[in-house]
Amino acid sequence: MSGAIVLATARVGDVGALMEVMEAAFDPAYGEAWSAAQLLTLFALPSARICLAREDEQPCGFSAARVAGPESELLLLAVNPLWRGRGIGRRLIEDWQAWAAGEGAEEYFLEMRADNSAVHLYREAGFTECGRRTAYYRGGDGVVRDAITMRRR
């Protein structure tokens, strides 16, 4: 793991690589991971994009987002734990916002589990909490958790 991280728009043929990252990045206790079929639906939407990060052809992270008018929503952000702490999440957020701005977005939203440790990454990227859904997520572990909505203008 010493090569350059390359970001590129994912293609349908990248679903296996995306799932590899998904399975490594999302703890099954929370039930947040998407299935391959759910990811495939995004490829059919002209308003959606998945960006895949690779190092030496090895998938290490991805983002999935969509645009609706002047707003864009980050649907998923995943970085394989073996690559965390190297700025990949930050780069994926910057890539998402640059793509979405090019599509006309002026505001950026995301929703996440309130106890997700990635909240610091989003705060550093300029996001602030703008809403909360009490007891929204029910994880595979049976625990109910709040969701927070974050926004950046």
- 34: DSSP letter: P
- What is the C-alpha to C-alpha distance for residues 82 and 6, in angstroms, rounded to an integer? 16
Among 137, 96, 95, which Cα is nearest to 116's? 137
**For the segment 76-98, what is each residue's pLDDT rounded down to a tens digit?**
999 999 999 999 999 999 999 99
Q: What predicted TM-score, i.e. pTM, was given to this entire model? A: 0.94
- Residue 24 has a pLDDT of 96
**For the segment 28-49, what is each residue's pLDDT rounded down to a tens digit?**
888 788 999 999 999 999 999 9
Q: In what order do the strands lie in the sheet with 5-9?
A: 5-9, 48-55, 58-68, 71-79, 107-113, 144-152, 128-138
Map out the domains of the chain with their CATH numbers: 5-113 (3.40.630.30)
Among 65, 76, 92, which Cα is nearest to 5's? 92
- Residue 96 has a pLDDT of 98
- Residue 2 has a pLDDT of 66
